[in-house]
Structures are given as structure tokens and as C-alpha cells.
Amino acid sequence: MAFDSKIPKGEMNEKWNDYKGHVKLVNPANKRKLEVIVVGTGLAGASAAASLGEMGYKVKAFCFQDSPRRAHSIAAQGGINAAKNYQNDGDSVFRLFYDTVKGGDYRSREANVHRLAEVSTSIIDQCVAQGVPFAREYGGLLSNRSFGGTQVQRTFYAAGQTGQQLLLGAYSALERQVALGNVTMYARHEMQDVVMIEDRARGIIARNLVTGELEKHFGHAVLLCSGGYGNVFYLSTNAMGSNVTAAWKAHKKGAFFGNPCFTQIHPTCIPVSGDYQSKLTLMSESLRNDGRIWVPKNKGENRKPVDIPEEERDYYLERRYPAFGNLVPRDVASRASKERCDEGYGVGTTKLAVYLDFADAILRYGKIEAGKMGDHSATEEALIKLGKDVVKEKYGNLFAMYEKITGENPYDMPMRIYPAVHYVMGGLWVDYELQTTVKGLYALGEANFSEHGANRLGASALMQGLADGYFVIPYTLGNYLADEIRTASISTDHPAFIDAEKAVNDRIQTLMNIKGKQTVESFHKRLGLIMWDKCGMARNEKGLNEAIAQIQALKKEFWSDVRIPGEVNGMNPELDKAGRVADFIELGELMCKDALVRNESCGGHFREEYQTEDGEAKRDDENFSFVSAWEYMGESDWKLNKEELKFEIVKPTQRSYK
Amino acid sequence: MEHYKMNLTLKVWRQKNNQSEGSLETYQVKDISSEMSFLEMFDVLNEQLILTGDLPIAFDHDCREGICGMCSMHINGRAHGPWTSNTTCQLHMRAFKDGDTIVVEPWRSKAFPVIKDLMVDRSAFDRVIQAGGFISVNTGNAVDANCLPIDKKNADDAFMAASCIGCGACVATCVNSSAMLFVSAKVSQLALLPQGAPERESRVLNMVAQMDKENFGNCTNTYACEAECPKGISVANIARMNKEYLHASLNTES
């Protein structure tokens, strides 16, 4: 099968310009005849559907939620990076490119990352033009903050709701195209399979989740913007409905899966409180700008955090990584908390938590505010009050969310946090044009594997989703569709559509007919535990082999004993969930296989066998400087293809944040 | 914080589909932890129903962190339940005590027909946005973001209005099923920003016209919407929309 990353020739900073200058174009009259299917309406999907609609293509967009505005991009809190250098602190396209390649632990494709850094600035312009209300300074100009893994302030934000504001911007652009008739929106629909005709993707089978009916939809091209698969761990910060199904069906139809084991475990989430827990909630990384992370120096400490004196606290990130301190990248911060908790220094009832403390920041901000008012004799109490107001303006919604979930007030008491699954760097393998190994089938946003290597930097997911949708796919899709202008719309009575629909229907009937004794949810929880224990923050050969055997057994059990109540012809959330969990089980096995062959530690992938003396990840560039691109061969059978990574500009070095 | 367990009686609206009649059914749940979220309590109930051969209760939910706007339960007569500035998914069981009876219904509004059990169809909101809740700027047309300084107060007010999650609690709680809070939040956001100026008049006229077409009722200033809004969207936005509407009506030749 074709396996070419199609990276343009030429100097790194000229590749994208050259590509755009020579890419094939489709004339307006032909665009009207070309149909494009977009699956998923988060930042990548909504921005792609809106932009392609504006260009004149006939677009059909699908989401499983009741409205495109609810896609999980909406939950992103902290911000979006862009190399604007508005703060005059030395930022540039090159630095954003460099930080992202380094932050990804040298497992991403340089040309893609450079393009991302280049278009980052246009994203901010576009969003502001749409009316996205970013935070501003008193002079009326945009405000920035810093985020983990960087030393410049390049993150644009809207309080702790940046994802919401960006998504509502893209959503409004999408709805405008719906009103103009350029995009047809299918909400409460879920893609069930890709339809292949000869060697190309030509449409999808979707299920109307309200009526239960299967629908056949033709498209000259299919764009999967269906997000990440963190819910394979059951507990994650993803939304309950986030799933891998669209990507997994594409994989089984020939799209290679890239780096499936690269998972991001976010360091600052609210800890698990009990076995009924259905999801985990993130506390934005931006909190690490002002919060200090610590654990007690004494094991088995029972005092309240505020009663533990300064000298008995271990600010372990500041201790281990003096250069970056609390702002080390996510993978490093997560492993450091795990290390402290594993050693017995954890806090809270489960002892699987560390403190994130704002007392110093509150006092510091209080002093600044008092200074502004010329009050140099304010009492500490008054300073704390002033400081709390500042912290509230910056992080108010996050603090309120924390208090709702835990019942504790984080203005007075440090937050308790612990790492949780948050994002997947892995996804469908795509070339420079975002095309998968299946012609006419594209993957955008978190659904693809491309820009973040083995670890994503904070505030880069929003950037990538919008870059792909607004500024990359409008060019690269034209390069494919220019050769499709002679392809008339194919009737959905074509045998390929009929066969695909029948296969989907058969699978649904099989699931319904099992009529077993165990609920879908119980299988999902068991899968999640296997994945978290053996393919989570730390992995080893023995555990991964055990996990593979356990997942295969779980799969057998699922297909013989799952109980799905209700009917096929109508709204049936248990049936929707069963289809997703069945796909997660298969994906889980592939993730473990991928983690098993990667005999090195890099970014979020930490193999216990491969670490330095002081417990840092030990990369092996000689043998593992490649993207794992897995080809589906049959049940539990995959072939590993490798895309060698060549670093022309950023020479791989031991990543150090000390 | 003290944690405790509780046994509860639930009266939940069950309705097969939008063609059928619905009714309140009674269920018992035991050993519910005060640390659970309200929806996790529903998960427990649903697992129980599936294992005893009943149909689980259909309800909308997704992010479970109060931002996607999908969850939508009317709990003991209040949209999103007893806590203020809160969504159903963020309501936690410590709001209840052992022995309580909790009545759970879907949003009630002609514009939001029931799909099944506690799920309703809120696509009317999308159609209101389609009528004008956007700025007509195609991808690639933007100037540098800092070319356009925006007064911080206006920017902050626009952000506050934009934080609406489109859950529909305002409609569900209003005696008239009015969508004025939702619509005015979007109108305000874009009216407060210079980017929104070129379409300022047509936007408010078109969005209000669509709102009426969708069978939402009118506003009689009870302010119940503001009281129940999980994001604290202010009724000042409604006043601003009325001003915008009047201004646009007078300026537009009919």
C-alpha cells in the first residue's frame, strides 16, 4: 500500500509557501459539483466544514451530539498558542516550531510542525474577526499567558473557557454556511463505516441516533474530524460520548494507525473519589502559572495542608527542574507526581493526589494590587482579599468547578490534583496533505497522529485543530478534488453502499442478539482498568503482554455476554455505547502492541525498562526515530510499517527542563 | 467535608418517543454516596434497570463538566436542580439527604419536543443562530488581530454574554417558554464588539423573527431565566437586545 509522507522539497520555511503556490486548484463551477463529508464538528470539523462551504463545495457535516456546538473541543480550558510575539519576548515562528518538536520529544514530523507554527498567527486573526472574545488588556489589545514547556508568553485565552469560545466561533461560521445552503448538518448521527469503491473512500454509512435508521451518504472525499480516543481508558477528561469508532472503521478499511500508544496523561486533574466515577475533570494547565505543586516531606502526614510549615513541604517540580519549575511539560509533571505518590508521599483519602497551592500567588497579586493603589501598609488579610480577586478574575470558573466537585474552597485550601488521561497524540496516520493511506479519506485534528510527536504541549491542541480545518485542508483537499471533477456523484444504490450498509446492520443485529448478562458499562470499566494499569503512565514488557491476553479474553466475553436492552429502531444509547466499546477493545489491544514494540521511553510513552538513572525518559533515536504506522491485516493481526523521521533543523538532544 | 450514603426515591419522566404519552415512574436507589454527581447516580440506576430487564432512562449528557450544555434535567421543579449557577452534570449528591424523593422531568417547552424520556430536541436554538448569530467573515479575510483594539469593558461584557452554553434552562424555567436570554446573549456579544457592527441591525431583526417562528414565548420580565442560568447570563442582555431591536426597527424601512 502507498506510504509516502509527501513532504514537499525545499527549505523548511519555504515548503508550505511552495506547496500553496503549486497546488492544483478547482474552479468555482466545479466546486459546486463536488461533495465533501465531514465527520465530527469540533474545532477541526467545524472549521473545515465552514471553510469548505465558503469555498463553494457541497458539504455534509455529522455529529453525534444534539448540536455541533457541543463537540468536546468546547471543554478545552487554558488557551491557544500562536507565534504573534505581541509580548515582545522573543517569540517567533521558529521558536514555536522548535518548542513543539522538542516538546514532542522528537517524534513528530518537522515539516508539519513548521506549517502549524506558520499558520498559527492567522488563526488568532480569524477568530478575532469572528467575534471570539479573547482576554484583553486595558489598552484594548490582546492578552497572553505562558503555558507549560515554553519560556515565552504566546498563549491567547478567554478566561478558562478558550475552547468554548473558539468552538462557538467555528460553530457560528458553520451555521452561517448551513443557512446559506452550502453545508447540510446531520446532528445526532454517528458514522458507522466508510464506504469504499475500488481504492477510494466514497462515502459513509451513518446511523440516525433518534430513529435508529441507517443512512448512506456519498462524498467525493471524507474528512474524519472525530477527535481522540482517550476514553479507551474509561476514565479520562474526554466527554462521555467521545469515541474512536469513526477512526477505527477507517483503520479497518485500510487507513494506517499512527503511534497508537502515545497518550497524554495530564498532570492537573481532580482525583478519583470512588468506583462509581464516570469521568475525570481537568484543572487547566494555566493554573501551574500561579499554583505551586507540593507534597509533604513526611510520609503519612495527617495535618491539614495549611498547617504544614513551609520547611516541611517538598515543591518537587521546583526542586527537580529549577529552570522550568512548575511549568515543565505535561508528561514530565505527571510522572513526577506519580513518583511522589508511589513513594508514599501522596495526600488526601486515597493518597493518590498532590497539592496545587495558590497561597503564594494570592499574596503576590495582593501586593501588586495594593501597590497600584499606593497602599504600602496593607495588612496581610487585606492583601489576601485583593489577591483573591485577581485570582478569581483569572481562574474563577475553574475554582468554582473544583468547589462544586469536591466541596472544598480552593481559595483557602490547596487543590488536590492527580494525573489523568487527557489527549492522544496517536491517531490515523496522515501525509503532509492530511490524507490517510486511503485515497480520498482525510483525518484532521486530534483524530490524526501528526504534529505533537510523543507529547503535546499545552494550548497546542486548539491550535492544531483550527490550523487543519481553516488553513490546511482548504488547500490540500483541492489537490485531490481537482482530479475528481469528472467523477459524477455516485448513487447510494451502488453495490458498495448496499454491502456496507448490510455489514453495519449485521453487526448491530449480532450485538443485539447476544442478550447476555453483563452491561456495556461494566466491560468498558474493565477495559479501562487494564489499560490504566498496564498501558498508562508507566509500561513494561510483562504488563503489556498480560494486557494483550486480558483484552483478547475480554473481547470474547463481550461478544458472548454483553446485554443491550431496547430496540434497534429508535433511540437506544446503550446500543450506541456498545458499538463504541467494541471498537475501544480492539484499539486497546493495538495500543498495547505499539507500546510493546517501542523499546524506548519518549514523551508520554514511558517504558520502565528504559529510563535514566534519575528516572527521566530515555529515548533511543538510533532505533526508534520513526512513526509506527499500523496496518490492519485481520482480527488481532497488524503489520508494522515505519515512517522514518528525519530531523533537518531541530537536532534531537536529551530533552532537559532542568 | 463529611461524606455519607443515602437511599432515595426517584420519580422520573418516562416517554417512549415523541408520539407517545409519558408518565412519571417511581424507582428506588440505595447506598448513593454524597460524593457522586447527579448523573453518576443516574448511571447507577440505569445499570440496575438493565440488569433487572428494564429499559434504562435516556438522558442527554456529554462533557460532564458543565460546559457543553447537553445535560438538561428539570429536578424537583428547577432547571438543573437546586444549586444556583450550575448544570445538572455538576450537581452533586451532597445536595440531597437520606430518604429524599426527587422528581426528574425533561425540559418542558413547545419549542423543545421530547425525543425520549428526559431527552428533548433543542435544534430550534441552532436555527436561531443560523438566522444571524455570526459575523460574516470567510476564512482568510481577517486582518491582524491587534489592528482592532477593543475597550476592555466591552470585551469583558461580550465574553460574559458569550459564555452561554445553549442548554435551554432559560426556556425551560420561563413561564412563557421564552428564549430571550439565549438570543439576547448572542445579540449582545456581537453588538458589543466592533466586528459585529456591519450586521448589527439585520442580525437582531432576523434572530428575533426566527425565535418567534420557533414557538418560543415572549418575555414578561420575571427574571427566572437569569436565576436559573448555569452561567449567570444577565437579563441586562435582554434589555440590550430590546434596545438593539427598537433601534434596528426604526432604522429599517419596511
Residue corresponding to grid cell 494525573: A419
Arithmetic mean of pLDDT over chain B: 97
Using alpha carbons, list the distances in angstroms from residue B34 to A137, A282, A547, A594: 42, 21, 34, 40
Q: Taking CB atoms and an 8 Å limit, are B62 and A65 in contact across chains?
A: yes
Domain span holding position A587: 498-644
Sign of CA dihedral A402, A404, A410, A413: negative
Chain B residues with CB under 8 Å of A517 CB are 51
CATH of the domain at A151: 3.50.50.60
Residues 308-347 of A with CB under 8 A from B: none
CB A447 within 8 A of CB A250: no
User: Strand pairing of B78-79 and B114-116?
Assistant: unpaired
Q: Tell me which chain B residues have a C-beta less than 8 angstroms from the C-beta of A68.
A: 126
A654 occurs within a structural domain: no
Q: Encode pLDDT of A480-522 as tens digits.
A: 999 999 999 999 999 999 999 999 999 999 999 999 999 999 9
Residue A343 scores a pLDDT above 60: yes
Mean predicted confidence (pLDDT) in B71-94: 97
Please name the residue that has the C-alpha cell 482530479: A483
Q: How many domains does chain A have?
A: 3
Check if A396 contacts B (Cβ < 8 Å). no
- Residue whose entry in the numeric block shows the C-alpha cell 476592555: B152
pLDDT at residue A615, rounded to an integer: 85
pLDDT score of A225 more than 80: yes
Query: Distances in Å between the alpha carbon of A633 and those of A248, A589, A591, A637, A640?
Result: 13, 14, 16, 5, 10
Give B8 to chain A, closest Cα distance, Å. 17
- Sorted by where each begins, the domain ranges of chain B are 5-116, 122-251
- Which residues of chain A from 560 to 599 reach within 8 Å of chain B, CB to CB? 563, 565-566, 570-571, 573-574
Q: What is the CATH number of the domain that holds A631?
A: 1.20.58.100
Instruction: Verify that A212 and A336 share a domain, yes or no.
Output: no
* A159 contacts in chain B (CB < 8 Å): 159, 163
- Judged by CB atoms closer than 8 Å, whether chains meet at A240 and B50 is answered as no
Distance between B246 CA and the closest CA of chain A, angstroms = 23
The answer to the question of residue A252 being in a domain is: yes
pLDDT of residue A397: 84
Distance, CA of A449 to CA of A435 (rounded, Å): 11
Cβ–Cβ below 8 Å for A405 and B121: no
Q: Do B150 and A179 touch (CB under 8 A)?
A: no
Residue pLDDT, tens place only, A120-144: 999 999 999 999 999 999 999 999 9
Chain B CB within 8 Å of residue A172 CB: yes
Claim to verify: residue A407 and residue A274 sit in the same structural domain: yes
Give the chain B residue whose CA is nearest to the CA of A173: B134
Q: Which of A276, A565, A571 comes nearest B50 by C-beta?
A: A565
* Same domain, residue pair A577 and A628: yes
Which of the 8 DSSP states describes residue A482?
Answer: G
Name the amino acid, one letter, at B233: I
Do the domain assignments include residue A5? Answer: no
Domain check: are A243 and A358 in the same one?
Answer: no
Alpha carbon of B218: minimum distance to chain A alpha carbons (Å): 24
Nearest chain A CA: its distance from B153 CA (Å): 8
Is A218 part of any domain? yes
Same domain, A416 and A435: no
Domain boundary among A421, A444, A463: A421
Residue A546 covered by a domain:
yes
Residues A192 and A51 in one domain: yes
Tell whether A101 and A237 lie within a shared domain. Answer: yes
Torsion sign over Cα A327, A332, A337, A339: negative
Q: Is residue A278 part of a domain?
A: yes
On whether both A248 and A318 belong to a single domain, the answer is no
pLDDT in tens, A373-426: 999 899 999 999 999 999 998 888 889 999 999 999 999 999 999 999 999 999
Q: Note whether A239 contacts B55, CB cutoff 8 Å.
A: no
Give yes or no for residue B1 having a pLDDT over 70: no
CATH topology of domain B122-251: Fumarate Reductase Iron-sulfur Protein; Chain B, domain 2 (1.10.1060)
| Residue A405 to chain B, least CA–CA distance (Å) | 7
Q: Could you give the dihedral angle defined by the CA atoms of residues A191, A196, A201 and A202, in that order, rounded to the nearest 10 degrees?
A: -80
For B10-56, write each residue's pLDDT tens digit. Answer: 999 999 999 999 999 999 999 999 999 999 999 999 999 999 999 99
Whether A613 and A529 share a structural domain: yes
Cβ atoms of residues B34 and B4 within 8 Å: yes
DSSP A532-576: HHHHSSSB-HHHHHHHHHHHHHHHHHHHHHEE--S-SSS--HHHH
Query: What is the end-to-end Cα distance of chain B in Å, rounded?
Result: 62
Do residue B1 and residue A171 have CB atoms under 8 angstroms apart? no
Q: Which of residues 32-71 of A touch B (CB under 8 A)?
A: 47, 50-51, 54, 65-70
Report residue A214 as a C-alpha cell. 441507517
Cell numbers that stand for A128 in this block = 478575532
- State whether A522 and A411 are in the same domain: no
Beta carbons within 8 Å of A525's beta carbon, 6+ residues apart: A234
Residues A367 and A436 both lie in one domain: no
Q: In terms of CATH, what superfamily is B5-116? A: Beta-grasp domain (3.10.20.30)
* Three-class DSSP labels, A238-291: CCCCCCCHHHHHHHHCCCCEECCCCEEEEEEECCCCCCCCCCCCECCHHHHHCC
Same domain, A241 and A270: no
Asked whether residue A649 is assigned to any structural domain, the reply reads no
